[in-house]
Amino acid sequence: MVVAGLMILAGCAGGSMRGKRMLQAADSLYTEERAMAIYDLLPERALQILDSAEIVGNLPDYRAGLLRAKVLSCSYTMQQQDSAIIICEALLRHDEALHNADFRQDLYELLLNAARRRCDYEEMVRWGTELSGLLRGEGLETEALRTDAELGLALTHIGQADEGLAKIDNAIRQLGSTRKFNEFDAWLIAVKRKIAVLQEQGIRMEQVITLADLMQQRLDDFVSHADDYHDGTYREPAEDDVPGYHDFYHAQATGYKAAAYVVSGDRQAARREVDTFLRSSYGQTLDGRYSVAPMMAALGDYTAMLSTYDEAERHMLSEGDTLNGIYASILRGRAEAASASGHTTQAYDYLSRYEALESQLNDRLQRSKAHLYAARYHAQEQQLEIQQRKSEANRNLMLAVAAILFALLATGFALYYFRQQRIIRKKNRVLVEQMNEAVAYRKLYESQDLTWIPQEDKPLNALAPDELSKYLRAVILRERLYLNVQFDRQAAIDYFHLSKERIGAAFSQDSEYTTIADFVNHCRLEYAKELLATSPGMTVDDIASASGFGTRRTFSRLFKERYSITPTEYRNQNC
**Spatial separation of the C-alpha atoms in residues 106 and 133, rounded to whole Å:** 14
What is the model's pLDDT at position 80? 81
Pick from 143, 508, 183: nearest CA to 128: 143
Q: In this structure, what DSSP letter does residue 26 have?
A: G
Is-contact 196 153, C-beta < 8 A?
yes
Is-contact 283 294, C-beta < 8 A?
no
Query: In order along the chain (575 residues), what is the average pLDDT of each group of 10 residues?
Result: 39 37 51 86 87 88 91 78 88 91 93 87 93 93 93 92 93 90 94 92 88 94 91 90 93 92 89 90 86 82 79 75 71 77 77 79 64 56 62 76 76 69 62 54 49 60 81 88 90 88 80 83 91 89 92 92 89 79
Percent of residues in the chain assigned helix, strand, coil, to nearest 5: 80, 0, 20
Question: Within 13 Å, how many C-alpha atoms sit on residue 71's CB side?
Answer: 24
What is the model's pLDDT at position 140? 93
* Burial class (CB within 10 angstroms; exposed 0-12, middle 13-18, buried 19+) of 555: buried
Is-contact 548 524, C-beta < 8 A?
yes
**Spatial separation of the C-alpha atoms in residues 515 and 521, rounded to whole Å:** 10
Pick from 472, 565, 562: nearest CA to 525: 562
* Burial class (CB within 10 angstroms; exposed 0-12, middle 13-18, buried 19+) of 572: middle
- The CB density around residue 492, as the number of other CB atoms within 10 Å, is 21
What is the model's pLDDT at position 300? 81
**Spatial separation of the C-alpha atoms in residues 309 and 315, rounded to whole Å:** 10
What is the model's pLDDT at position 435? 56
* Burial class (CB within 10 angstroms; exposed 0-12, middle 13-18, buried 19+) of 268: exposed
All structural domains of the chain: 28-118 (1.25.40), 416-574 (1.10.10.60)
Is-contact 288 280, C-beta < 8 A?
yes
Q: In this structure, what DSSP letter does residue 460 have?
A: G
What is the model's pLDDT at position 378? 58
* Burial class (CB within 10 angstroms; exposed 0-12, middle 13-18, buried 19+) of 404: middle
* Burial class (CB within 10 angstroms; exposed 0-12, middle 13-18, buried 19+) of 475: middle
Residues constituting the chain:
575
Please tell me whether the overall predicted TM-score, pTM, comes out greater than 0.85 for this model: no
